[in-house]
Amino acid sequence: MYFRLMGKLNARRQGLLEEDEKGFTLIELLVVVIIIGILAAIAIPIYIGVQNNAKDAGVKSDLANAKTAVVAYYTDKGSASTVSKPTFNGDNTTGLATYGFTQSADTTSIDFKSGSTPTSTAFCIDAVGSTGNKFHIDQTNGAATGVCP
């Protein structure tokens, strides 16, 4: 039985060797590798750009959530000038986390416009994303590129 199996395998090998094609040449393999390299060189920067756009969209979403939380904060606390400035942390009294705000990993910093005191009718929030891009949102407009005016 062993010799019969080996004989059949040997016959199969002989049949394959009789054909003209015995495998790929070195040139054919190099061409394939070069084509794959060119496709990767095109696809990788596009993929990175798509990732950065998604991270920026996450920052804009954080700003929209912060805007909603600020409005909820002032609705709950009132619009009097004695109301404490809300913060972007989990503080129970002034933290916007109590009003549904959560900061994603794509937002490196978020705060009210530097030097301003937010009110129920006038506020502007600046944010910086992990890509280094800056965005802002105010009481009447949606998220936009750049810092608060």
- Residues 50-82 have pLDDT tens digits of 999 999 999 999 999 999 999 888 888 877 656
Going by C-alpha positions, the residue among 99, 104, 93, 98 that lies closest to residue 127 is 104
Predicted confidence pLDDT, tens digits, the chain (149 residues)? 667 766 766 766 666 555 555 677 899 899 999 999 999 999 999 999 999 999 999 999 999 999 999 988 888 887 765 678 888 877 777 788 888 888 999 999 999 988 788 887 889 999 999 999 999 999 899 999 999 88
Rounded to whole angstroms, the Cα distance separating 124 from 113 reads: 6
